[in-house]
Amino acid sequence: MFWWPAGADLFNRLAHEPATGQLNPLTMNTYKVVKNVIKDVVSMFPDSFYHGGANEITPNCWKSNKTIQYFLAKNGTLSQLLEMFVNSTLPYIINQNRTVVYWEDVLLDPNVSVAASVLPQKNVILQTWNNGPNNTKKLVEAGYRVIVSSAEFYYLDCGHGGWAGNDSRYNQPPGTNLGNGGSWYAPFKTWQTIYNYDITYGMNIEEAKLVLGGEVALWSEQADPTVMDPRILPRASAMAETLWSGNRDSTGMKRYAEATDRLNEWRNRMVTRGIGAEPIQPLWCIRNPGMCNTIQPFKLS
């Protein structure tokens, strides 16, 4: 079945991306397959965590299945389907001596989600990607440990145009403002944008303790090994510095000038080791440290 039927709008697709298909929580074979996958992954990776996904469920995919149609006709809901799946797989993962990581959608999605009672804070970590610090705040307020991957700051694949073919958004007369250029979650996330992000913004001390850290993401729709190094580096290095040692000096000023010099040096080290990290300044600036800085310092806002 085609992932985006003719005449259907964005919210009535059968999948977020091709190919179409979701596991059916009403079929027992689903759990046989999933548990075999979990068992194989756990045996291959010694990590103490297992990522259970559970994000971006496409309602119309489930609704197109006759068994699920019957379930819904008997007053069942899509959220109940997700709860069935979580209740059938979460205990199995925990029994493998793993802490389960889910995307935030499992709790916060407005259409298909489960109650907090289904996700014990002791065994579950939630990874946030939507709505910046606001969703992170919601999760820590609910008592969950959180990994931050806010798309507005940490999605490294965004800003390169759309991947869908025959996209009518590009069929516009000259001079038309294309906005995000068809890119999902545009614009491109610069190293400065990443460096500037405070993943515990708006939290008190106890809430901030629940934020375990951050993770940049490079999704593979438009990325493969030929572009992987420059897409990731040195932008991921900017995140590493701000999470490890902060992005402000002792007076509260942002350290963009110092960070620029450090990233230039680090980028050159990577290049000499055969890593294709992209440049962040012209060579003249690198050879003349500080001479490409702005006159006005960045002030604490």
Distance, in Å, from the CA atom of 57 to the CA atom of 76, rounded to the nearest integer, reads 16
Distance, in Å, from the CA atom of 119 to the CA atom of 87, rounded to the nearest integer, reads 9
Return the bridge partners of 145, or none: 125
Number of Cα atoms under 13 Å in the Cβ half of residue 47 = 11
Is residue 102 within a helix (H) or strand (E), and if so which, with residue range?
strand 99-103
Cβ neighbour number for residue 74 with a 10 Å cutoff: 7
Instruction: Identify the CA nearest to 255 among candidates 238, 273, 271.
Output: 238
Q: Which residue in 56, 152, 207, 278 is the catalytic one?
A: 56
Residue 65 structure tokens:
């299945």
CA dihedral over 258, 264, 269, 274, signed as positive or negative: positive
Residue 56 is a catalytic residue: yes
Return the CA Rg of the chain.
Answer: 22
- At residue 212, φ and ψ (nearest 5 deg) are -75, -25
Residues with a catalytic annotation lie at 56
